[in-house]
Chains A and B, each alone.
Chain A
């Protein structure tokens, strides 16, 4: 470019300027580049220096990114234990073990693996039916019965009066005690984990083998009545004519659902209708809702339980001989009537089975009375799966871990141990088959299940002895039952250990790595004096040397001590080695260290905002209401800068500062009107993100928002450029035409999308789809392809004006004058800032497109606020303080919520993957979802360098170091948040809100940190390379 054609005007300027400089030795006229040969060589050297320094800074931040990845990996691998979902299904004709009692398997009519006992079943779930509701109240001391006591006596009465027809047992749930998780357990027989790897991540349908699927495969006609959660889990499984589902979310409504179930269930029991169905699943929610609304100790609970009592009596009356009637609670409720956690009151439900045939028995006369408390003779909820399967002649679902319930198989006399042994053997054998396949699929070590394998062997031997005996005695069968049961109990406890426990050392080591990285980042960001570019090489070299050393030690440990997993020691030692290496580097440059603690009000405010937010994540309420807290903090920041602006001596700075501070606050508040509430915010939050609270499409008026942004925002941005006369050159083409056109196209995209969704033009759907995808692709091309070409090739936004003497009006832009004319460089005042900020607007356009109309408005506001923030930083001279990068972090987090996101899995807008594409395409689809999910944080991260570049003199020393400092501060903000959410999630791992609140927030924090790391390094710091080079084209390096 040096001697090419495109630069003639600048060459001229340089010459004129050099002349002027010679005439008047003005010190502050930091001029254009020198023309002598020496100067040219020095300039070349300067460029090489810059490129090297820039590369080292990118390398340093990449090293921080790697440390973050390693720390998060270690913690996550110990925290989010996953269970692999096996796709295998149990088959009717393939019993898990050879049947030894002359029974031919394979007929689902007669019973697949075992003769069936019942042809039909009615399975009633009374949601939140706690065990102590069902047994008579025995006062201890002077305690009075509560409203929930003695209100549903039918279960206990029948079990005591007709023990061969009915039994009642405590029924223990595996937490989390939420209905959805419970239904999974009650139909698959397996344990819940946070992530069931292998299942469809976004969907809820159960893909594992389960009882409902087995019944359907055997062509049983299934009817479901009540809670619609069943349909999310088993879509299309039920007879559409007889099934009635009701909305389960309206907890204030105690009766609609229950009355609806009653209305439809009793006609089905009528003899004329019993041929229409085989199994009915009825799910009553009234008791649960009464608990949520009033708590258990309330007359409404008595009334509800009384109603259920009547319902069950009526069913007992009407049910026929061949039908099994099961009534159970899926979980209990705590003293306030809520559930979800793992307290005793929440996990202790009741199970009752009834049949007109005298089939049930007790192995001991003492067992005739149902247990007085749930601590005696409880059965696990997963035990229901094998029990019901075998009673109805189905195979036991493949992944089942539960055991058959004794009362159902021991016979009316309570001594049929042969039958009990057979069902126990079948179930245990299925568990054995499952465990074998699971170990294979997961590559698990045999040693993990050595104890259960030896029990299996023992049980098989016992059974072999029984089979070898011609007439086995009762005791022999009893012994077989015990050995199979021992195997099942042991396997279950191993699985619990595998799936429901946390690997504490890994979690701790992960946290340690994150803490070390945080300290390094904090010192780098705020604890070093002078230019960071000078210090980065030492840090990087020693850090890498330490890491290599650490890796060698870690690998050595991993191989030498087989008990320690190699991956764990390697990762941990590498990170610690790297951190120690950096530590020695800090020692090496110790003269340049200063206290990273803040010494101005802005430093303190940055620390307080970050720490207050971090501490708040320990409380579920503050996590739930994060959006409002961020609003509060951002407004506080605006008020502080307004106060600070009032302190400014220069009246222009004062007026501008106050104006932009107020603008910043008002824009924050306007953006806050866009909300997508999470469930826990109800009823104090009203969603406005979509047309209504129950839809996920935009309202008509919302479609106008992107158009408004397209018309207004380029003008606003232009005004920020015009203030310093920087609106020229490439900025005109980009901001006024390309950006505006791109924004209009995005707006059009969302209109066409609405037309397609709403079927405004039926029959043209295909055409609309094609059009909108093309529009989206063009917009991306404008934003990224055209945008990046503009950004990398644009010259600094400068022009030269030569004026006759005496007509100078803009004093600040006169850099030299000689003789009769003065030279004014328009755009000089903000040459770095205006040049770099083009990059922000490009990414703004890309993010704008992938947000829904309401979110597009939020992104438009965010961009406007970012430019206001630059002005605030400038007029208050805050570019060296940490507040700018921290406020950008707050702003990014705030607009994360304003673009329709929450820290929950369910709020991820998966459909954004399809905006410019018809089908999933890697790697684009995940990138699009990330661009949608974290668009606000990405935009703010891209804006960070402009904080320190805005309106800085072109040749200010150490600008690149300032960029590194600002970016380190920005990353520090997210690193603190990530560390805090990580530690809280680890610390509160037994908290009942772990899976709903703390864990999702931890995951968001971790992903955001990594995304912002990547964006900050490669897009923001990477982008400064182009803008610095381009500015130096004109002003030189020296």
Chain B
């Protein structure tokens, strides 16, 4: 898809692609800041239940989290393939009238892609993440539901917005996995959630005898906090920066 010279450009550090911008309207700009607060509040609210009995509590939390992520994507993010259009539309400042069939186009152009992203991340990303968790030391013969749910939460947090924005193009996803894209709010969610989940493993071995140290509470907590931090930092401090390996 993407020609090889794009890759070369990328690795030279030239921003061949701009970072993802939040949609240029009031609602989007406001909601993008409310969204992490809502997600964290949801988690904080459910935290006690999750600690008490992770499997049902995490399962129940998936639904509101999914709704929130769909809302975030539909309200704030440009759906896949539309970046250029949106960016152009933005400049004239003439965004008040999107035309007829407002509801229908919103459903077709936003809600359906958002649902699709949700479905794809649940079906594709969750098993991969679960496998990754097991490879990193999650119990191999027990706690399968715990691990699966942890993976589901991470994939909802990290992957849904990415698929909504970038689609399922193979070369695109190679760049995503290879950390070649410029950092933005959406990419920040992925990096933040994954790093958060990684750091979430730190308190598990401590001998504090706390209920919340049990699998997979710390991992999920780390992912949620990492999501919020990554989204914030990715959208502000590190926006447009690239990860360098050498």
Query: What are the residues of chain B within 8 A of A636 when measuring CB–CB?
Result: 136, 198
A688 → B minimal CB distance (Å): 11
Partner of B205, one of A622, A643, A669, A673: A622
Instruction: Encode contact with B along A827-868: 1 for CB under 8 Å, 0 otherwise.
Output: 000000000000000000000000000000000000000000
Query: A668 CA to B136 CA in the complex, in Å?
Result: 9
CB neighbors of B among A587-635 (8 A):
600-602, 619-622, 624-625, 628-629, 631-632, 635
We find that the number of chain B residues with CB closer than 8 angstroms to chain A is 24
Whether B103 is near chain A, meaning CB under 8 Å from some CB there, is no
Q: Which residue of B lies closest to A623 (CB)?
A: B205
Q: Size range of the interface on A?
A: 20 to 34
Selecting from B77-85, B89-97, B153-161, B175-183, the interface stretch reads B175-183
Whether A931 is near chain B, meaning CB under 8 Å from some CB there, is no
Whether A375 is near chain B, meaning CB under 8 Å from some CB there, is no
Partner of B180, one of A602, A620, A647: A647
Query: What are the residues of chain B within 8 A of A644 when measuring CB–CB?
Result: 178, 245
Query: What are the residues of chain B within 8 A of A631 when measuring CB–CB?
Result: 136-137
Contacts A601-B244, A619-B206, A636-B198 known; A647 to B178 CB distance under 8 Å?
yes
**CB distance B177 to A669 under 8 Å?**
no
Instruction: Encode contact with A along B15-46: 1 for CB under 8 Å, 0 otherwise.
Output: 00000000000000000000000000000000
Whether A294 is near chain B, meaning CB under 8 Å from some CB there, is no
Query: A413 CA to B127 CA in the complex, in Å?
Result: 83
**CB distance A649 to B205 under 8 Å?**
no
Whether A439 is near chain B, meaning CB under 8 Å from some CB there, is no
A392 → B minimal CB distance (Å): 43
Q: Which residue of B lies closest to A625 (CB)?
A: B205
**CB distance A647 to B179 under 8 Å?**
yes
Query: What are the residues of chain A within 8 A of B201 when measuring CB–CB?
Result: 632
Q: Which residue of B lies closest to A686 (CB)?
A: B141
Partner of B135, one of A601, A629, A635: A635
Instruction: Encode contact with B along A667-682: 1 for CB under 8 Å, 0 otherwise.
Output: 0110011000000000
Query: A635 CA to B178 CA in the complex, in Å?
Result: 16
Instruction: Encode contact with A along B152-178: 1 for CB under 8 Å, 0 otherwise.
Output: 000000000000000000000010011
Q: Which residue of B lies closest to A876 (CB)?
A: B245
Whether B59 is near chain A, meaning CB under 8 Å from some CB there, is no
Q: Which residue of A lies closest to B140 (CB)?
A: A673
Contacts A622-B205, A625-B205, A672-B137 known; A649 to B4 CB distance under 8 Å?
yes
Whether A646 is near chain B, meaning CB under 8 Å from some CB there, is yes
Query: A334 CA to B149 CA in the complex, in Å?
Result: 39
**CB distance B11 to A649 under 8 Å?**
yes
**CB distance B137 to A620 under 8 Å?**
no
**CB distance A649 to B8 under 8 Å?**
yes
Instruction: Encode contact with A along B124-157: 1 for CB under 8 Å, 0 otherwise.
Output: 0000000010111100100000000000000000
**CB distance B134 to A669 under 8 Å?**
yes
Contacts A602-B245, A621-B206, A646-B177 known; A635 to B137 CB distance under 8 Å?
yes
Whether B207 is near chain A, meaning CB under 8 Å from some CB there, is yes
Query: A636 CA to B246 CA in the complex, in Å?
Result: 18
Whether B49 is near chain A, meaning CB under 8 Å from some CB there, is no
**CB distance A632 to B4 under 8 Å?**
no
Query: A673 CA to B207 CA in the complex, in Å?
Result: 23
Contacts A643-B178, A647-B180 known; A621 to B205 CB distance under 8 Å?
yes
Q: Which residue of A lies closest to B10 (CB)?
A: A647
Q: Which residue of B lies closest to A673 (CB)?
A: B140
Whether A124 is near chain B, meaning CB under 8 Å from some CB there, is no
CB neighbors of B among A631-673 (8 A):
631-632, 635-636, 639, 642-644, 646-647, 649, 665-666, 668-669, 672-673
Query: What are the residues of chain B within 8 A of A647 when measuring CB–CB?
Result: 11, 178-180, 245
**CB distance B246 to A600 under 8 Å?**
yes
B121 → A minimal CB distance (Å): 19
Query: A639 CA to B8 CA in the complex, in Å?
Result: 22
Whether B7 is near chain A, meaning CB under 8 Å from some CB there, is yes
Q: Which residue of A lies closest to B207 (CB)?
A: A621
Contacts A621-B205, A621-B207 known; A628 to B137 CB distance under 8 Å?
yes
Partner of B137, one of A601, A622, A632: A632
Query: A624 CA to B244 CA in the complex, in Å?
Result: 35
Query: A643 CA to B244 CA in the complex, in Å?
Result: 11
**CB distance A669 to B135 under 8 Å?**
yes
CB neighbors of A among B213-246 (8 A):
243-246
CB neighbors of B among A659-718 (8 A):
665-666, 668-669, 672-673
B177 → A minimal CB distance (Å): 5
Partner of B178, one of A600, A601, A646: A646
A649 → B minimal CB distance (Å): 6
B207 → A minimal CB distance (Å): 5
Most B CB contacts (10 A, CB to CB) among A642, A646, A668 go to A646
Query: A642 CA to B132 CA in the complex, in Å?
Result: 13
Partner of A646, one of B4, B136, B174, B206: B174
Query: A669 CA to B132 CA in the complex, in Å?
Result: 10
Query: What are the residues of chain B within 8 A of A600 when measuring CB–CB?
Result: 244-246
Query: What are the residues of chain B within 8 A of A628 when measuring CB–CB?
Result: 137, 205
CB neighbors of A among B186-212 (8 A):
198, 201, 205-207
A339 → B minimal CB distance (Å): 16
Query: What are the residues of chain B within 8 A of A601 when measuring CB–CB?
Result: 243-246
B74 → A minimal CB distance (Å): 30
**CB distance A624 to B180 under 8 Å?**
no
Q: Which residue of B lies closest to A633 (CB)?
A: B136
Query: What are the residues of chain A within 8 A of B245 when measuring CB–CB?
Result: 600-602, 643-644, 647
Query: What are the residues of chain B within 8 A of A666 when measuring CB–CB?
Result: 135
B146 → A minimal CB distance (Å): 14
CB neighbors of A among B87-135 (8 A):
132, 134-135
**CB distance B207 to A620 under 8 Å?**
yes
Query: A620 CA to B136 CA in the complex, in Å?
Result: 22
Query: A332 CA to B26 CA in the complex, in Å?
Result: 68
Q: Which residue of A lies closest to B4 (CB)?
A: A649
Query: A642 CA to B198 CA in the complex, in Å?
Result: 16
Query: A635 CA to B194 CA in the complex, in Å?
Result: 14
Q: Which residue of B lies closest to A631 (CB)?
A: B137
Query: What are the residues of chain A within 8 A of B177 when measuring CB–CB?
Result: 642-643, 646
Query: A629 CA to B135 CA in the complex, in Å?
Result: 13
Q: Which residue of A lies closest to B245 (CB)?
A: A601
Query: What are the residues of chain B within 8 A of A665 when measuring CB–CB?
Result: 135
Query: What are the residues of chain B within 8 A of A620 when measuring CB–CB?
Result: 207
Query: A46 CA to B140 CA in the complex, in Å?
Result: 56
Query: What are the residues of chain A within 8 A of B140 when measuring CB–CB?
Result: 669, 673
Query: What are the residues of chain B within 8 A of A642 when measuring CB–CB?
Result: 177
Query: What are the residues of chain B within 8 A of A669 when measuring CB–CB?
Result: 134-135, 137, 140
Query: What are the residues of chain B within 8 A of A625 when measuring CB–CB?
Result: 205
Contacts A620-B207, A624-B205, A649-B11 known; A643 to B137 CB distance under 8 Å?
no
Query: What are the residues of chain A within 8 A of B198 when measuring CB–CB?
Result: 636
B201 → A minimal CB distance (Å): 6
Q: Which residue of A lies closest to B176 (CB)?
A: A646
Query: What are the residues of chain A within 8 A of B132 when measuring CB–CB?
Result: 639
Q: Which residue of B lies closest to A662 (CB)?
A: B135
Q: Which residue of B lies closest to A647 (CB)?
A: B178
Query: What are the residues of chain A within 8 A of B135 when measuring CB–CB?
Result: 635, 665-666, 668-669
B61 → A minimal CB distance (Å): 26
Query: What are the residues of chain B within 8 A of A673 when measuring CB–CB?
Result: 140
Partner of B136, one of A619, A621, A622, A635: A635
- 17 A–B contact pairs at CB < 8 A? A600-B246, A601-B246, A621-B205, A621-B207, A622-B205, A631-B136, A635-B135, A644-B245, A646-B177, A647-B11, A647-B245, A649-B7, A669-B134, A669-B135, A669-B140, A672-B137, A673-B140
15 additional contacts (CB under 8 A) given A619-B206, A628-B137, A647-B179: A600-B244, A601-B244, A602-B245, A622-B205, A624-B205, A631-B136, A631-B137, A632-B137, A639-B132, A646-B180, A649-B11, A665-B135, A669-B134, A669-B135, A669-B137
Q: Which residues of A contact B (CB under 8 A)?
A: 600-602, 619-622, 624-625, 628-629, 631-632, 635-636, 639, 642-644, 646-647, 649, 665-666, 668-669, 672-673
Q: Which 4 A-B pairs have the closest CB atoms?
A: A646-B178, A625-B205, A647-B178, A621-B206
